[in-house]
Amino acid sequence: MKIENQVCTIEQSKKITELTNDFNLESHFVYVPKFPVFNDELRLTTFIEFERRLRNSILSDDAKALVTYYPAFTLSELGQMLSYENVPYFSTEYDMWMLPKGSKLKGQGLGSINEAVIRAELLIYALENKLLSSETCNERLIA
């Protein structure tokens, strides 16, 4: 399976970063917006590869500090941040993603083909509606 199908979208990544601005949540993968050293419009790469290429680039240290990236949260990282009762499952009966009974996130993002995308939507919903805090996400992610 392609890594693109195992991570949230860049839009979701930006939103999660915005909602958790008091924490610097890290991921194994990152989206790097247009960056001349990579010669790509948008690159999905490992954080280690990003750091290596940035370190070895011809950019000055001041310019390197301005390079932005967004964490591309994986399926498992998103699952860690969500509580167990909010982790979706795929229903073969209905051919769509469902939430377990008792979830506080009913109806959010259901139907997506990509499980990482639906988990990211659930996480965004939980953060926006104060059902989950940035601090809790961080604690679960580094546990």
pLDDT per residue as tens digits for the range 55-112: 888 888 898 888 888 899 998 899 888 876 666 777 777 677 777 666 666 554 456 5
- Per the model's pLDDT, the better-predicted residue between 40 and 65 turns out to be 65
> CA geometry: angle at 76 spanning 74 and 78, to 5°?
70
Which regions of 36-94 does DSSP assign to beta strands (E)?
Answer: 40-46, 70-71, 89-91
How far apart CA 31 and CA 4 sit, in angstroms, is: 11
Q: State which H helix or E strand residue 63 sits in.
A: helix 61-65
Nearest to 107 by CA among 97, 92, 117, 115: 97
